[in-house]
């Protein structure tokens, strides 16, 4: 089975790999000494490096996105969650309908009056800026490693190309339990713990307050989505009760000297039930529309951007789709964003929810162990495994 849409540097015949590398170096005017730069301890964003260049067919095109951005901004549904708190039956029903329609038609929507306090949001933004403004040598004290996917990283790959971003990953609740290995017959699991920087003690409190508030919102949204599929709102709760594999990420996209060649995050779908994204006020997030055009999601400072992820796609047996998106960078202004990736426990056998399937509507996925899938995804973010990234389409059955 073949994963969808993946770029395969390093896996193909060496002649084309060399040609591709030469083409990248020619674009940049690099010589072989320059190539050593990305391995050094210097800030990788001080000078553009060939490892950031995305294949020509996936480079951003401002012309297309600008043309459509206004119409898309108008159409991404904005859902007001204020009525959720009052829980009058007709208000809840209306909310559930709106969420269902947004998930089915867009896979993306925004929520306002979401209940996450403004001071918690501001506290997070302030601390994140302080963290990323710290010299790289200090940030490396909390570096993510091949053994611990939590912490600081400025070498993340998406679709095997290096992202123009630095990140800091942490688990709500303090730790993340994952299978030790991808191999199906290896039963071991491993617990990864958050790393906190001693040089910025105030960061921890700001992040923990934020994660606590946003996780509550995640449960609310999960309930609304599940109810919108015609199921009891708590139908999937046991998958999220404990050992959730959720992750909170702080993204910093520095200004980029060649935004037409690189991406902050290459095209991807989120391996989550749902993502809650705080976008800040600098645009950059682009969503692939149904007609294949990349269109920008205009920032709304009062809203969170919500998207359906792979888990919801499988639960719903494809009724709700995980939508491809990416992040463009720019020459003038740095950008921050804060996705909260809400995910089930690693031991969950993920499959379409049985009540949604029947003889007329057969399950479109075979069951698979969620944690094993995630283990492989984490590993491929960290290094080029030389194979296409694993996607949920791998588990699709022909119906």
Ligand X SMILES: O=C(O)CCC(=O)C(=O)O
Closest CB to ligand X among 96 and 265? 265
**Binding string, 294-333, against ligand X, x = CB under 6 A?**
-------------------------------x-x------
Site for ligand X in 144-203 (CB under 6 A): none
Residue carrying structure tokens 């449960």? 219
Please state, in angstroms and rounded to a whole number, the distance separating the CA atoms of residues 308 and 246. 14
In the complex, least distance from residue 270 CB atom to Fe ion, rounded to whole angstroms: 4
Closest CB to ligand X among 161 and 277? 277
Please state, in angstroms and rounded to a whole number, the distance separating the CA atoms of residues 298 and 92. 27
In the complex, least distance from residue 322 CB atom to Fe ion, rounded to whole angstroms: 10
Nearest to 220, CA basis, from 116, 106, 76, 101: 116
Q: Which residue is nearest to ligand X (CB)?
A: 337
Site for Fe ion in 291-350 (CB under 5 A): none
Is residue 391 close enough to count as binding ligand X by CB under 6 A?
no
b or e along 319-339 (b: 16 or more beta carbons within 10 Å of the residue's beta carbon)?
A: bbbbbbbbbbbbeeebbbbbb
Span of 29-37, 267-275, 347-355, 380-388 interacting with Fe ion by CB under 5 A: 267-275
Closest CB to Fe ion among 270 and 283? 270
Q: CA angle, 78 as apex, 72 and 84 as ends, to 5°?
A: 165
Span of 89-97, 163-171, 229-237, 268-276 interacting with Fe ion by CB under 5 A: 268-276
Beta-ladder partners of 341: 247, 275
**Binding string, 38-77, against ligand X, x = CB under 6 A?**
----------------------------------------
In the complex, least distance from residue 336 CB atom to ligand X, rounded to whole angstroms: 8
277 contact choice in Fe ion, ligand X, none (CB below 5 to 8 Å, kind-dependent): ligand X
Please state, in angstroms and rounded to a whole number, the distance separating the CA atoms of residues 81 and 61. 35
In the complex, least distance from residue 280 CB atom to ligand X, rounded to whole angstroms: 8
* Out of 337, 380, 381, 391, the residue judged to bind ligand X by CB under 6 A: 337
In the complex, least distance from residue 286 CB atom to Fe ion, rounded to whole angstroms: 11
Please state, in angstroms and rounded to a whole number, the distance separating the CA atoms of residues 40 and 89. 60
> Rounded to 5 degrees, what are φ and ψ at 308?
-70, 140
Tokens of 168: 């800091």
Is residue 270 close enough to count as binding Fe ion by CB under 5 A?
yes
Span of 33-41, 73-81, 162-170, 265-273 interacting with Fe ion by CB under 5 A: 265-273
Is residue 339 close enough to count as binding ligand X by CB under 6 A?
yes
Q: How many residues bind Fe ion (CB under 5 A)?
A: 1
If phi > 0 it is left, if psi is from -120 to 50 it is alpha, else beta; for residue 317 that is left
Instruction: Report the relative pairing of strands 108-112 and 304-308 from DSSP bridges.
Output: antiparallel
* Out of 153, 245, 251, 317, the residue judged to bind ligand X by CB under 6 A: 251
284 contact choice in ligand X, Fe ion, none (CB below 5 to 8 Å, kind-dependent): ligand X
Is residue 270 close enough to count as binding ligand X by CB under 6 A?
yes
Is residue 256 close enough to count as binding ligand X by CB under 6 A?
no
Closest CB to ligand X among 11 and 68? 68
In the complex, least distance from residue 321 CB atom to Fe ion, rounded to whole angstroms: 14
* Out of 142, 225, 262, 265, the residue judged to bind ligand X by CB under 6 A: 265
Binding site for ligand X (CB under 6 A): 249, 251, 265, 270, 277, 279, 284-285, 325, 327, 337, 339
Binding site for Fe ion (CB under 5 A): 270
């Amino acid at each position: 089975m073949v994963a969808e849409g993946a770029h395969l540097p390093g896996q193909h015949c060496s002649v084309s790999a060399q040609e591709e590398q030469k083409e990248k170096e020619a674009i940049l005017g690099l010589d072989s000494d320059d190539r050593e730069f990305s391995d050094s301890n210097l800030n990788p964003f001080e000078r553009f490096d060939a490892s950031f260049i995305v294949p020509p067919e996936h480079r951003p095109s401002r012309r297309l996105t600008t043309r459509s951005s206004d119409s898309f901004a108008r159409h991404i549904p904005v859902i007001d969650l204020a009525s959720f708190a009052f829980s009058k039956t007709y208000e809840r029903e209306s909310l559930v309908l709106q969420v269902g329609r947004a998930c089915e038609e867009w896979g993306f929507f925004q929520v306002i009056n979401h209940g996450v306090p403004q001071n918690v949001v501001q506290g997070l933004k302030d601390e994140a800026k302080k963290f990323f403004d710290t010299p790289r040598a200090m940030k490396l004290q909390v570096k993510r490693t091949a053994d611990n996917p939590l912490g600081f990283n400025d070498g993340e790959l998406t679709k095997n190309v290096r992202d123009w971003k630095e990140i800091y990953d942490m688990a709500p609740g303090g730790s993340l339990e994952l299978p030790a290995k991808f191999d199906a017959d290896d039963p071991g699991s491993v617990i990864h713990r958050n790393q906190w920087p001693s040089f910025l003690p105030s960061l921890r409190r700001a992040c923990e307050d934020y994660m606590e508030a946003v996780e509550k919102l995640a449960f609310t949204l999960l309930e609304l989505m599940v109810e919108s599929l015609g199921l009891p709102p708590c139908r999937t709760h046991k998958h999220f009760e404990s050992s959730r594999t959720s992750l909170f990420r702080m993204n910093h996209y520095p200004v980029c000297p060649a935004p037409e060649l690189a991406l902050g995050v290459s095209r991807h779908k989120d391996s989550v039930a749902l993502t809650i994204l705080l976008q800040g006020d600098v645009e950059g997030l682009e969503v692939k529309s149904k007609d294949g055009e990349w269109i920008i999601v205009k920032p709304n400072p009062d809203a969170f951007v919500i998207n359906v992820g792979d888990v919801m796609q499988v639960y719903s047996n494809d009724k709700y789709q995980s939508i491809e998106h990416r992040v463009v960078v720019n020459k003038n202004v740095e950008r921050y964003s804060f996705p909260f990736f809400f995910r089930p426990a690693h031991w969950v056998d993920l499959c379409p929810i049985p009540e949604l399937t029947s003889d007329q509507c057969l399950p479109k996925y075979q069951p698979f162990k969620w944690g094993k899938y995630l283990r492989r995804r984490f590993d491929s973010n960290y290094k080029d495994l030389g194979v296409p990234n694993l996607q949920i389409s791998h588990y699709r059955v022909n119906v």
